[in-house]
Structure 1
Amino acid sequence: MDAPPSVRARGITKYFGEVVALDSVDLDVAPGQVHGLVGPNGAGKTTLLGLLLGLAVPDRGDLEILGTPVGRALAVPDGVAGFVDGPGLYPSMTAKQNLAALARLRGDRTTSIDDAIDQVGLTDVADDRVRGFSLGMRQRLGLAAALLTKPRLLILDEPSNGLDPAGKKHVYGVLTRLAADGTAVMLSSHRMDDVEALCSEVTILSTGRVAFSGPISKLASEDSELDYRVRTSDPAVARRIARETKGIRLRDQEPDSVELLVISSAVPALDEFVKRLVRDDIAVRELAPVVSPLEAAFIALTEQQETN
């Protein structure tokens, strides 16, 4: 039999006084999926993550976590771990002492403290007091704490906050391995590069409502125009070809001596432009969206939602 969804929400609504934080939100997260949650500040992301961690309950709607209906606070089933608004840590304790204290509170654990610390790349500072940790190191220690119980659903709020490239590599590796082993990961992030690198599906919230939920690939329509940076071996010829290619529009026209072009194009016209460059023996040294397809869709969807 197929495993039940790790998260299944239908019509979730949450009020804080007269403020509607979440408005009829539907959400599905499958086992082994890394699901991104994005939205402007105040969109309801933290509220939704809090519901998934059992910190509160919806005022209306149905919520199932790991196949179990959740109807009261602190009643999520075993196998859920994570943090919202940053991990809670004791600054006067070392990294190891923090995890040991948490392990005692939780009881049995399936991952050793040393192994959890090693997975997030903090072995060298395991005996250092947390008060001296950077933001990124605290985020990684929070992830290590979540790993202690080998979660089946991991909830993370801005997990790459403050991470340097090495820290990001460790976090990416941990989340990828967890998903490969069947753990569902729900992460909120303002960094579209993190979401695009890690997530197969994304939910975009705006003013408490779902503006989009589904595979990221569905956001990148071939018919949608994006702005692209283009750097070639011959910018003057590339500019001429851009003017002559149907569906290509030059943005911020620069003098011919400047190497960088900015063009606006949908994918079919962009393909034709590149083919013509190759036929004219022009080397393409850079071709990249000015704004990623996810970020462009995010901006368009949230702006549309806010005007409705």
Structure 2
Amino acid sequence: MTQSLEITDLTKTYGAVHALDKVSLSVAPGERVALLGHNGAGKSTLMKIILGLIPHDTGTVTVTGTTPGSVAARGATAYLPENVAFHPALTGLEQIRHYLRLRGERSDHAMDLLSRVGLADAAKRRIGTYSKGMRQRVGLAQALIGKPRLLVLDEPTSGLDPVSRRDFYALLDGLAAEGAAILLSSHALTEVEARTDRLVILSAGVVVTQGALSDLRRQADLPVTVHVTARSGGKERLAEALPQGRMNGTGVNLRCAQSDKMETLARVSELGPLVTDIDVQPPSLEDIYSHFSRRDGQ
């Protein structure tokens, strides 16, 4: 499959500072990839190179098969920054109509775009009266113009309430299903954990790991938490049977290595009537991110 974004051994320096060091990643059509990293990790620099705003030193970058910043690449790429800025005197409808005309699209599509991002009711209000989350949705509507093949999104849910965030990711799911490639930068690890296909962790300009969440869990090899719920009145007996665990309000918490998970579950199942439920909690994306970030720092 032809990649919508292909980056190989990308390097960018500012004097003696290596902002990016041999970075390689790709995003295929229909794929949602999360770019994670601390402030200063190189995410913004990478996005600027993808958009053709700054040059890179060495390595290769292709955007939908062409050079970043070229007419073809710009026409196929949409970008949403963390902090969008629009003219406060214009209404949402007027702003999107303006961008449609700039892109050579029909301006009567503006209301459809605003409806997709949940702004139909506020379309004729001045943007100066919008909340930060509403302005962010105007930015997303602008990014959807022309059915882009690659979306580059920098902290796109900044300022959105929980319902709007859910709707935003549902919209991304639909775009990916239609074949759009999505590169999403975010600090909201809980959000991207369940709504992206692959994860790329960038630290100090270096890709320390990448892959599906299941791949990263295997690489990190962090302990699994098993919560064993005791039957009514049997918590003390359960704690005696599982002395390696830690008692909590409803039962016992056990921590075990990934390789010992099945053996631990088999041992718990032998306790029979003492147990009413077992909940296996794998390491979260936050745990995995902290693990790889600390390892890189060390």
Task: Indicate the TM-score class for this superposition, using the shorter chain for normalisation.
Answer: 0.7 to 0.9
The Cα of 1:220 is off from its aligned counterpart by 1.7
Task: Report deviation, 1:199.
Answer: 1.0
2:80 counterpart of 1:83: yes
Per-residue CA distance 1:223-257 (angstroms, 9 max, x = gap)? 923353736244434433433xxxxx53xx45x7x
SS at match of 1:141: helix
Q: 1:76 to 1:286 in 2, by over 3 A?
A: same
Deviations 1:111-150 (A, max 9, x none): 9211111111121211222223222222222111111121
Equivalent runs, 1:167-182 vs 2, <5 Å: 167-182=164-179
Residue 236, structure 1, aligned to residue 236, structure 2: yes
Equivalent of 2:128, from 127, 131, 151?
Answer: 131
Are residue 304 (structure 1) and residue 298 (structure 2) matched?
A: no
Task: Name 1:282's counterpart in structure 2.
Answer: 275
Structure 1 stretch displaced more, 134-143 or 164-173: 134-143
Greater shift, 263-272 or 160-169, is seen at 263-272
Residues 15 and 147 of structure 1: CA distance in aligned 2, closer, same or farther (over 3 Å): same
Residue 46 (structure 2) aligns with: 48
Residue 62 of structure 1, aligned match among 60, 63, 74: 60
- Alpha carbons of structure 1 residues 229 and 84: separation in structure 2 relative to 1, 3 Å: farther
Identity %: 34
What is the Cα deviation at residue 17 of structure 1? 3.6
Q: Secondary structure at 1:78's aligned position in 2?
A: helix
Give the whole-Å Cα distance in 1 for the aligned partners of 2:251 and 2:263: 19
Partner Cα distance (1:223, 1:73) in 2: 39
Amino acid at match of 2:37: G
Q: 1:172 to 1:260 in 2, by over 3 A?
A: farther
Unaligned runs of 5+ in 2: none
CA distance in structure 2 between the aligned counterparts of 1:110 and 1:80, rounded to whole angstroms: 19
TM-score, normalised to structure 1, is: 0.84
CA distance in structure 2 between the aligned counterparts of 1:240 and 1:209, rounded to whole angstroms: 47
Mapped contact 2:11–2:56 kept (Cα < 8 A): yes
Superposition RMSD in Å: 2.7
- Do the aligned partners of 1:87 and 1:138 also contact (CA within 8 Å) in 2? yes
Q: Which range moves more in the overlay, 204-213 or 136-145?
A: 136-145
Work out the CA distance in 1 between the residues paired with 2:127 and 2:265: 52
Match of 1:246 in 2: none
Contact preservation (8 Å) 1:66, 1:77: no
Q: Secondary structure at the match of 1:159?
A: coil
Q: Does 1:155 align with 2:152?
A: yes
Q: TM-score under structure 2 normalisation?
A: 0.87
Alpha-carbon shift at residue 105 of structure 1 (Å): 2.1
Taking a change above 3 Å as real, the CA distance of residues 93 and 223 of structure 1, as seen in their structure-2 partners, is closer
Aligned-pair CA distance for 1:28? 0.9
Q: Aligned residue for 2:250?
A: 259
Which runs of 5 or more residues in structure 1 are unaligned?
A: 244-248
Partner Cα distance (2:60, 2:134) in 1: 36
Q: Structure 2 CA distance, aligned partners of 1:128 and 1:236?
A: 62
In 1, Cα distance between equivalents of 2:241 and 2:119: 52
1:106 paired with 2:103, answer yes
The 3 A distance-change label for structure 1 pair 125 and 281 is farther
Confirm or deny that 1:197 pairs with 2:194.
yes
2:163 equivalent to 1:187: no
The CA distance in 2 between the partners of 1:237 and 1:80, in whole Å, is 61
Assess, with a 3 A threshold, how the Cα gap between structure 1 residues 225 and 24 changes in structure 2: closer, same or farther. closer
Q: Identify if the C-alpha distance between structure 1 residues 104 and 93 changes in structure 2 by more than 3 Å, giving closer, same or farther.
A: same
202-211 or 100-109: which moved more? 100-109
Q: Distance in 1 between matches of 2:223 and 2:65?
A: 41
**Structure 1 CA distance, aligned partners of 2:80 and 2:71?**
14
Structure 2 counterpart of 1:19: 17
Matched, 1:10 2:8: yes
C-alpha deviation, 1:109, in angstroms: 5.7
